[in-house]
Amino acid sequence: MKTPLIQLDHLNAEVRLPDGDHLTTVNDVSASFERGTSTAIVGKSGSGKTSLASIIGLLNTDYTGTLSYDGRDCGAWNDANRSRFRCRHVGFVFQNYSLIPHLNAWENVGLPLQYRGGVPMRTVRRRACRMLHAVGLADRADSMPSRLSGGEQQRVAIARALVADPDLLICDEPTGALDTETGDMVAAMLFRQVREQGVTLILVTHDPQLAARCEHQLTIDRGHLS
Ligand SMILES: Nc1ncnc2c1ncn2[C@@H]1O[C@H](COP(=O)(O)OP(=O)(O)OP(=O)(O)O)[C@@H](O)[C@H]1O
Ligand SMILES: [Mg+2]
Protein backbone atom coordinates (compact mmCIF):
# COMPACT_ATOMS: atom_id res chain seq x y z
CA MET A 1 0.00 0.00 0.00
CA LYS A 2 1.22 3.53 -0.81
CA THR A 3 2.40 5.62 2.13
CA PRO A 4 -0.05 8.50 2.61
CA LEU A 5 1.33 12.04 2.50
CA ILE A 6 0.01 12.70 5.98
CA GLN A 7 -0.81 10.21 8.71
CA LEU A 8 -2.31 11.17 12.05
CA ASP A 9 -2.33 8.59 14.81
CA HIS A 10 -4.14 9.25 18.08
CA LEU A 11 -3.45 12.98 18.06
CA ASN A 12 -4.49 14.84 21.17
CA ALA A 13 -4.05 18.48 22.10
CA GLU A 14 -5.31 20.71 24.86
CA VAL A 15 -5.10 24.31 25.92
CA ARG A 16 -4.84 25.67 29.40
CA LEU A 17 -7.62 28.05 30.30
CA PRO A 18 -7.09 31.15 32.45
CA ASP A 19 -8.75 29.43 35.46
CA GLY A 20 -6.14 26.64 35.26
CA ASP A 21 -8.48 24.05 33.73
CA HIS A 22 -7.51 22.21 30.56
CA LEU A 23 -9.70 22.12 27.46
CA THR A 24 -9.24 19.32 24.96
CA THR A 25 -9.09 20.85 21.46
CA VAL A 26 -8.02 17.75 19.48
CA ASN A 27 -9.36 14.45 20.76
CA ASP A 28 -7.86 11.14 19.63
CA VAL A 29 -7.66 12.01 15.95
CA SER A 30 -6.48 9.33 13.54
CA ALA A 31 -6.68 9.92 9.79
CA SER A 32 -4.65 9.77 6.63
CA PHE A 33 -4.48 12.05 3.62
CA GLU A 34 -3.33 10.66 0.30
CA ARG A 35 -1.35 12.73 -2.18
CA GLY A 36 -3.31 14.63 -4.78
CA THR A 37 -6.61 14.35 -2.92
CA SER A 38 -8.93 17.00 -1.52
CA THR A 39 -10.46 16.63 1.94
CA ALA A 40 -12.95 18.92 3.60
CA ILE A 41 -12.96 19.25 7.37
CA VAL A 42 -16.29 20.54 8.61
CA GLY A 43 -17.62 21.10 12.09
CA LYS A 44 -19.32 23.63 14.33
CA SER A 45 -17.58 26.77 15.52
CA GLY A 46 -15.25 25.83 18.36
CA SER A 47 -15.12 22.15 17.39
CA GLY A 48 -11.33 22.18 16.90
CA LYS A 49 -10.84 22.72 13.15
CA THR A 50 -8.21 25.45 13.43
CA SER A 51 -6.50 23.60 16.30
CA LEU A 52 -6.15 20.49 14.14
CA ALA A 53 -5.14 22.41 11.01
CA SER A 54 -2.34 24.18 12.87
CA ILE A 55 -0.93 20.85 14.07
CA ILE A 56 -1.07 19.34 10.57
CA GLY A 57 0.57 22.52 9.23
CA LEU A 58 3.46 22.12 11.72
CA LEU A 59 2.56 25.42 13.37
CA ASN A 60 1.78 23.90 16.75
CA THR A 61 3.87 21.11 18.20
CA ASP A 62 2.05 20.93 21.50
CA TYR A 63 0.31 17.58 20.95
CA THR A 64 0.60 13.91 21.82
CA GLY A 65 0.26 11.08 19.33
CA THR A 66 1.93 10.96 15.95
CA LEU A 67 1.93 13.20 12.91
CA SER A 68 3.86 11.75 9.97
CA TYR A 69 4.68 13.17 6.58
CA ASP A 70 5.53 10.55 4.02
CA GLY A 71 6.07 8.00 6.78
CA ARG A 72 8.44 10.26 8.75
CA ASP A 73 7.45 11.16 12.30
CA CYS A 74 7.46 14.96 12.57
CA GLY A 75 7.64 14.74 16.35
CA ALA A 76 11.37 14.19 15.99
CA TRP A 77 11.94 17.37 13.96
CA ASN A 78 13.44 20.50 15.46
CA ASP A 79 12.32 24.06 14.64
CA ALA A 80 14.72 24.34 11.71
CA ASN A 81 13.53 21.04 10.18
CA ARG A 82 9.93 22.11 10.53
CA SER A 83 10.51 25.56 9.03
CA ARG A 84 12.42 24.10 6.11
CA PHE A 85 9.69 21.56 5.45
CA ARG A 86 6.96 24.19 5.72
CA CYS A 87 8.57 26.61 3.34
CA ARG A 88 9.29 23.92 0.74
CA HIS A 89 6.07 21.97 0.90
CA VAL A 90 3.20 23.64 2.74
CA GLY A 91 0.92 26.54 1.82
CA PHE A 92 -1.27 27.64 4.72
CA VAL A 93 -4.21 30.03 4.51
CA PHE A 94 -4.90 31.31 8.01
CA GLN A 95 -8.47 31.89 9.10
CA ASN A 96 -7.48 35.37 10.28
CA TYR A 97 -5.26 35.90 7.18
CA SER A 98 -2.18 36.74 9.32
CA LEU A 99 -0.74 39.25 6.88
CA ILE A 100 2.36 41.12 8.01
CA PRO A 101 1.05 44.66 8.66
CA HIS A 102 4.20 46.53 7.64
CA LEU A 103 4.55 44.75 4.30
CA ASN A 104 2.44 45.61 1.27
CA ALA A 105 0.37 43.04 -0.63
CA TRP A 106 3.06 41.81 -3.04
CA GLU A 107 5.69 41.71 -0.28
CA ASN A 108 3.33 39.58 1.84
CA VAL A 109 2.66 37.25 -1.08
CA GLY A 110 6.38 36.98 -1.85
CA LEU A 111 7.36 35.92 1.67
CA PRO A 112 7.38 32.13 1.06
CA LEU A 113 9.72 32.65 -1.89
CA GLN A 114 12.01 34.81 0.22
CA TYR A 115 12.02 32.25 3.04
CA ARG A 116 13.02 29.64 0.53
CA GLY A 117 16.10 31.70 -0.26
CA GLY A 118 18.06 32.18 -3.48
CA VAL A 119 15.18 33.80 -5.38
CA PRO A 120 16.13 37.25 -6.75
CA MET A 121 13.88 40.07 -5.53
CA ARG A 122 12.67 40.94 -9.02
CA THR A 123 11.55 37.31 -9.45
CA VAL A 124 9.81 37.41 -6.06
CA ARG A 125 7.99 40.55 -7.15
CA ARG A 126 7.05 39.17 -10.57
CA ARG A 127 5.69 35.90 -9.16
CA ALA A 128 3.88 37.65 -6.30
CA CYS A 129 2.24 40.09 -8.72
CA ARG A 130 1.24 37.22 -11.00
CA MET A 131 -0.48 35.49 -8.06
CA LEU A 132 -2.20 38.72 -7.06
CA HIS A 133 -3.45 39.02 -10.63
CA ALA A 134 -4.79 35.45 -10.42
CA VAL A 135 -6.86 36.32 -7.33
CA GLY A 136 -8.17 39.51 -8.93
CA LEU A 137 -5.93 41.95 -7.06
CA ALA A 138 -3.51 43.08 -9.76
CA ASP A 139 -4.15 46.73 -8.94
CA ARG A 140 -3.62 46.35 -5.17
CA ALA A 141 -0.05 45.00 -5.23
CA ASP A 142 1.35 48.08 -3.47
CA SER A 143 -1.47 48.42 -0.90
CA MET A 144 -0.78 47.88 2.78
CA PRO A 145 -3.02 45.30 4.53
CA SER A 146 -4.73 48.02 6.59
CA ARG A 147 -5.99 49.56 3.32
CA LEU A 148 -7.53 46.30 2.11
CA SER A 149 -11.00 44.94 2.83
CA GLY A 150 -11.37 41.61 4.67
CA GLY A 151 -12.04 39.77 1.42
CA GLU A 152 -9.04 41.43 -0.26
CA GLN A 153 -6.80 40.46 2.66
CA GLN A 154 -8.12 36.92 2.42
CA ARG A 155 -7.20 36.78 -1.27
CA VAL A 156 -3.70 38.11 -0.49
CA ALA A 157 -3.40 35.26 2.06
CA ILE A 158 -4.47 32.76 -0.61
CA ALA A 159 -2.00 34.16 -3.13
CA ARG A 160 0.74 33.86 -0.47
CA ALA A 161 -0.16 30.21 0.19
CA LEU A 162 0.02 29.38 -3.52
CA VAL A 163 3.00 31.42 -4.69
CA ALA A 164 5.72 28.87 -3.95
CA ASP A 165 3.92 25.89 -5.55
CA PRO A 166 3.31 23.88 -2.34
CA ASP A 167 2.62 20.13 -2.35
CA LEU A 168 0.15 20.55 0.48
CA LEU A 169 -2.41 23.32 0.87
CA ILE A 170 -4.13 23.75 4.20
CA CYS A 171 -6.88 26.34 3.93
CA ASP A 172 -8.74 27.44 7.04
CA GLU A 173 -12.06 28.92 5.86
CA PRO A 174 -10.48 30.35 2.69
CA THR A 175 -13.72 31.78 1.34
CA GLY A 176 -15.25 32.94 4.64
CA ALA A 177 -14.92 36.65 3.79
CA LEU A 178 -15.67 36.41 0.07
CA ASP A 179 -18.85 37.04 -1.91
CA THR A 180 -20.24 34.06 -3.85
CA GLU A 181 -18.63 34.98 -7.16
CA THR A 182 -15.17 35.68 -5.73
CA GLY A 183 -15.43 32.61 -3.47
CA ASP A 184 -16.21 30.45 -6.52
CA MET A 185 -13.20 31.89 -8.33
CA VAL A 186 -10.92 31.12 -5.38
CA ALA A 187 -12.37 27.61 -4.93
CA ALA A 188 -11.81 26.92 -8.64
CA MET A 189 -8.15 27.95 -8.21
CA LEU A 190 -7.70 25.60 -5.25
CA PHE A 191 -9.28 22.61 -7.00
CA ARG A 192 -7.24 23.34 -10.14
CA GLN A 193 -4.10 22.96 -8.00
CA VAL A 194 -5.28 19.48 -6.99
CA ARG A 195 -6.25 18.45 -10.52
CA GLU A 196 -3.36 19.90 -12.46
CA GLN A 197 -0.47 20.01 -9.97
CA GLY A 198 -1.30 16.98 -7.83
CA VAL A 199 -1.51 19.17 -4.73
CA THR A 200 -3.02 17.67 -1.56
CA LEU A 201 -5.76 19.98 -0.29
CA ILE A 202 -7.14 20.11 3.23
CA LEU A 203 -10.01 22.53 3.30
CA VAL A 204 -11.59 23.68 6.54
CA THR A 205 -14.98 25.14 5.74
CA HIS A 206 -18.45 25.89 7.03
CA ASP A 207 -19.78 25.90 3.49
CA PRO A 208 -21.50 22.56 2.72
CA GLN A 209 -21.40 23.20 -1.04
CA LEU A 210 -17.66 23.80 -0.95
CA ALA A 211 -17.15 20.73 1.26
CA ALA A 212 -19.16 18.61 -1.18
CA ARG A 213 -16.72 19.50 -3.97
CA CYS A 214 -13.89 17.76 -2.07
CA GLU A 215 -13.20 14.10 -2.72
CA HIS A 216 -13.44 13.30 1.02
CA GLN A 217 -15.42 14.89 3.83
CA LEU A 218 -14.49 14.57 7.50
CA THR A 219 -16.45 15.99 10.41
CA ILE A 220 -14.94 17.20 13.64
CA ASP A 221 -17.00 17.28 16.80
CA ARG A 222 -15.52 18.35 20.15
CA GLY A 223 -12.06 17.72 18.76
CA HIS A 224 -12.80 14.27 17.38
CA LEU A 225 -12.61 13.63 13.65
CA SER A 226 -14.81 11.06 11.95
N1 LIG B 1 -5.31 29.55 22.90
C2 LIG B 1 -6.50 29.14 23.35
N3 LIG B 1 -6.86 29.39 24.63
C4 LIG B 1 -8.07 28.97 25.09
N5 LIG B 1 -8.95 28.29 24.36
C6 LIG B 1 -8.64 28.04 23.08
C7 LIG B 1 -7.40 28.45 22.50
N8 LIG B 1 -7.38 28.03 21.22
C9 LIG B 1 -8.54 27.40 21.01
N10 LIG B 1 -9.30 27.40 22.11
C11 LIG B 1 -10.61 26.77 22.27
O12 LIG B 1 -10.52 25.49 21.66
C13 LIG B 1 -11.71 25.15 20.98
C14 LIG B 1 -11.40 24.85 19.53
O15 LIG B 1 -10.99 26.06 18.89
P16 LIG B 1 -10.72 26.14 17.33
O17 LIG B 1 -10.21 27.52 17.04
O18 LIG B 1 -9.87 25.01 16.94
O19 LIG B 1 -12.19 25.93 16.74
P20 LIG B 1 -12.74 26.03 15.25
O21 LIG B 1 -13.46 24.75 14.96
O22 LIG B 1 -11.64 26.43 14.33
O23 LIG B 1 -13.81 27.20 15.37
P24 LIG B 1 -14.27 28.30 14.26
O25 LIG B 1 -15.18 27.60 13.30
O26 LIG B 1 -15.03 29.30 15.09
O27 LIG B 1 -13.04 28.87 13.63
C28 LIG B 1 -12.66 26.33 21.19
O29 LIG B 1 -13.50 26.01 22.26
C30 LIG B 1 -11.73 27.47 21.54
O31 LIG B 1 -12.40 28.40 22.38
MG1 LIG C 1 -11.28 28.07 13.19
CB 15 less than 6 A from any atom of ligand 1: yes
CB 45 less than 6 A from any atom of ligand 1: yes
pLDDT at 117: 86
Selection from 168, 144, 171 nearest residue 157 by Cα: 171
Q: Give, as residue ranges, everything with CB less than 5 Å from ion ligand 2.
A: 49-50, 95
- Nearest protein Cα to ligand 1, atom 30: 46
pLDDT at 2: 81
Q: Tell me the C-alpha distance between 152 and 157, whole Å.
A: 9
CB 43 less than 6 A from any atom of ligand 1: yes
**Tens of each residue's pLDDT in the chain, 226 residues:** 788 999 999 999 999 999 999 999 999 999 999 999 999 999 999 999 999 999 999 999 999 999 999 999 999 999 999 999 998 999 999 999 999 999 999 999 999 999 988 899 999 999 999 999 999 999 999 999 999 999 999 999 999 999 999 999 999 999 999 999 999 999 999 999 999 999 999 999 989 999 999 999 999 999 999 9
Q: Tell me the C-alpha distance between 182 and 85, whole Å.
A: 31
Q: From the CA of 126, how far away is ligand 2's center (Å)? A: 32
Length of the chain: 226
Q: Tell me the C-alpha distance between 128 and 99, whole Å.
A: 14
Q: Which of 50, 175, 203 has most ligand 1 atoms within 8 Å of CB, for mutation?
A: 50
3-state SS of the chain is CCCCCEEEEEEEEEEECCCCCEEEEEEEEEEEECCCCEEEEECCCCCCHHHHHHHHCCCCCCCEEEEEECCEEHHHCCHHHHHHHHHHHEEEECCCCCCCCCCCHHHHHHHHHHHHCCCCHHHHHHHHHHHHHHCCCHHHCCCCHHHCCHHHHHHHHHHHHHCCCCCEEEEECCCCCCCHHHHHHHHHHHHHHHHHHCCEEEEECCCHHHHHCCCEEEEEECCEEC
CB 48 less than 6 A from any atom of ligand 1: yes
The residue extents of the domains of the chain are 6-225
CATH number of 6-225: 3.40.50.300
Q: From the CA of 8, how far away is ligand 1's center (Å)? A: 20
pLDDT at 140: 98
CB 205 less than 6 A from any atom of ligand 1: no
